[in-house]
Amino acid sequence: MNMKTQDVIINRERLLKTIYDLESAKCLQDDKNCQLLLSFLLEGPMTFEDIKNSFIEVQAEKSDKTIYGYLNKLKKADLVMETGKRIITFSESQIKTLTLYSRTAKVFYIAIDIKKEIRETYFELIGKLLCQILDYTDFDRDCFKKLYDDFIQSKRNDVQRINEIENSDIVELIASNDVRGTKFVIDTYMFFAFIAENQNIAQEFNKCFKKKS
């Protein structure tokens, strides 16, 4: 009897996941081995053996213990998950199962939440900078805050909309970039999406900032 293999997926990877915590962000941005392992999983779910062979293929062979270390780190950061099982049927009296790992999402977008107190300070600074460079005397903090909060909310909505894209080609393209590239693409998209959907933004802005007469 020939060996038969069947992959059974229980937990599907999402299209996009927003990363809010620092540890996961560090893993994505700075840890080369985490990035390498995540890139292997871009093609689809893999068993431990598949991952081990992938490291060998890129001339970066690692021990079993090391790879399990990476997997645990990535699982803790919620970047990798156990997605299902590979069932290998050797015969009528021997069936083996192997765990399949996958990314938790095809695309990871880093959006670290800034602490409230620090945000207030930045906000004050941004207002002052705008006044200085664009020649305004002062700005209405409540008015500008509302504008700013609308911008943040629309950013969150825009990120969610990426999750709903059905065109898998675009998702693949976004996912194929490194995490910094992905962040640049998504941030820039969100910026222009905000402008496109708030055509009277200049008017709103002028309500908050007093021009020098």
Partner 1 sequence: MSFQDIITNQQKLVQVMTGKMIEEALEDDNHRYLLHYLFQGPLTVEELKIAFKQSGNEKSDKTIYRYLNKLKKAGLVIEAGKRIYTDKDNQIKTQTLFARIAKVIFTPFNKADRDPNLKKKSLKITSLILKEKLGQKGNADLNCLQNKIDNLVYSKQELIASYFQDTDNSEIISLIQTMDIAELFPILDIASWILLLIEKPEIINQILDCF
Task: Catalog residues that contact partner 1 under the rule CB under 8 A.
Answer: 4, 6, 8, 10-11, 82, 84-85, 87, 89, 92-95, 97, 99
Shortest CB 76 distance to partner 1, Å: 15
In the bound state with partner 1, the residue whose beta carbon lies nearer, of 75 and 145, is 75
Token pair for residue 13? Answer: 């990877």
Phi, psi of 149 (to 5 degrees): -65, -40
Element (H, E) at 117: helix 116-134
Nearer to partner 1, 92 or 117 (CB): 92
Q: How far is the CB of 10 from partner 1 (least distance, A)?
A: 5
In this structure, are residues 48 and 67 in contact, taking their beta carbons and an 8 Å threshold? yes
Nearer to partner 1, 99 or 198 (CB): 99
- Cβ nearer to partner 1, comparing 92 with 164: 92
Closest distance between partner 1 and the C-beta of residue 6, in Å?
A: 6
Shortest distance, position 8 Cβ to partner 1, whole Å? 5
Instruction: Provide the phi-psi class of 59: left if phi over 0, else alpha when psi is between -120 and 50, else beta.
Output: left
Beta strand ranges found along 43-158 (DSSP E): 80-91, 94-103, 105-110, 136-139
